[in-house]
Amino acid sequence: MLRRITSSSSLSSPPLFFRLFRHSPRSNFSLSSSRTAVSVSNRHHLHRLTAPYTTLRSICSHSSSDLLSEHPPFVRIYKDGRVERLSGTETVPASLTPQNGVVSKDVVYSQKHSLSARLFLPHKARELADGSKLPLLIYIHGGAWIVESPFSPIYHSFLTEVVKAANCLAVSVQYRRAPEHPIPAAYEDSWSAIQWVFSHSDGSGPVDWINEYADFNRVILAGDSAGANMSHHMAMRTGEEKLDPRIKGVAIVHPAFWGTDPVDEHDVQDVETRRGIAEVWEKIASPNSVNGTDDPLFNVVGSDSDLSGLGCEKVLVAVARKDVFGRQGLGYAAKLKKSGWKGDVEVIEEGDEDHCFHLLNPDSENAPKFLKKFVDFITS
């Protein structure tokens, strides 16, 4: 049986990204059986153990003999189809009472899939002169396509700081997560969210904040880790489908790009690390991928994908030198520059930092520097 208890400091798991892709997933079954456990046909046997607007952590009372597979720090999957998330389950509520000068609210954008977006707005936006608009940030969170949400404390805090500093409106997108909803569900939801946001471009959408304050000539799409991966693919789709108005810029922060082979001699060579990342993708996030980690959704840098149609005019690529994905990020920037795409590429690299350091340790020396560069990209 499943029981829920209130999260406390003694029960909360360490933040996801301190351990992201540092552990090799463990399982007691073969790759073929893992595909069965999280396949599309078995989705109805799986249910989400965490929901937005709660501060509860899910604890399963199953014995170890009930365990089908374990993939720390992400999930445990049980033989009866239950999924227990091991991190990224804490949430904080939105607030119309200003927090650090910013108000927030949650709005459903997909009734079909019960998905919401969290909106952040400077409290003083109501003092804008008639007709004045704010830059619009559409943000896709990370978490290996498996954990975290727009309602997570780290994302709520980060976007509050961004909105305060950039004086912008932000829309943080929720999407269906694996293993209950394997890839490409997250990509489909992210695209639906972008279309929903752009339905407000003529001022007649369902959400007053977007109608009144969003400047659709200054739209920035951004994400970190898995969210950075999806931000790239969403920007490619906006180019293919001629989204109007056009997205101005895309911020690709510590992107989760990968492939069977290293992109260069400085990329991760350790076999165990590469195997661990492959198992996260192949057994949990995208078990239906025919080409494994060489799926074009994951292997953006090493594949023959054409980036020249990216649907924006500028790109910020942020990497951290200690990040397992660091060389992939640099390879992405280099490939984009050589692709024939006509926009501007800016690369920022933090030499002594690891994956998503700005989220995990916002008081670190380099986090404010990153925030300033990120804000400058939004406002320039």
For the annotated catalytic residues, the residue numbers are 225, 323, 355
User: Would you call 110 exposed, middle or buried from its count of C-beta atoms within 10 A (0-12, 13-18, 19+)?
Assistant: middle
Q: Are 5 and 79 in contact (CB under 8 A)?
A: no
In the block, residue with structure tokens 């499943």:
2
Nearest CA-CA partner of 35 in 293, 276, 289? 289
User: Would you call 28 exposed, middle or buried from its count of C-beta atoms within 10 A (0-12, 13-18, 19+)?
Assistant: exposed
In the block, residue with structure tokens 């020396």:
365
- CA–centroid distance for 364 within its chain: 22
Q: Are 362 and 161 in contact (CB under 8 A)?
A: yes
List CB contacts of 244: < 8 A, sequence separation 6 or more: 201
| DSSP state string for 26-55 | EESS-HHHHHHHT-GGGGGG---S--TT--
The C-alpha atoms of residue 316 and residue 252 are separated, in whole angstroms, by 6
Q: Are 137 and 167 in contact (CB under 8 A)?
A: no
Query: In what helix (H) or strand (E) does residue 212 lie, and over which residues does it extend?
Result: helix 208-213
The C-alpha atoms of residue 375 and residue 316 are separated, in whole angstroms, by 11
Beta bridge partners of 58: 4
Work out the number of other CB atoms within 10 angstroms of the CB of residue 372.
11
Look up residue 248 and give its amino acid.
K
List CB contacts of 179: < 8 A, sequence separation 6 or more: 37, 38, 46, 75, 77, 83, 146, 284, 285, 287
The C-alpha atoms of residue 362 and residue 358 are separated, in whole angstroms, by 5
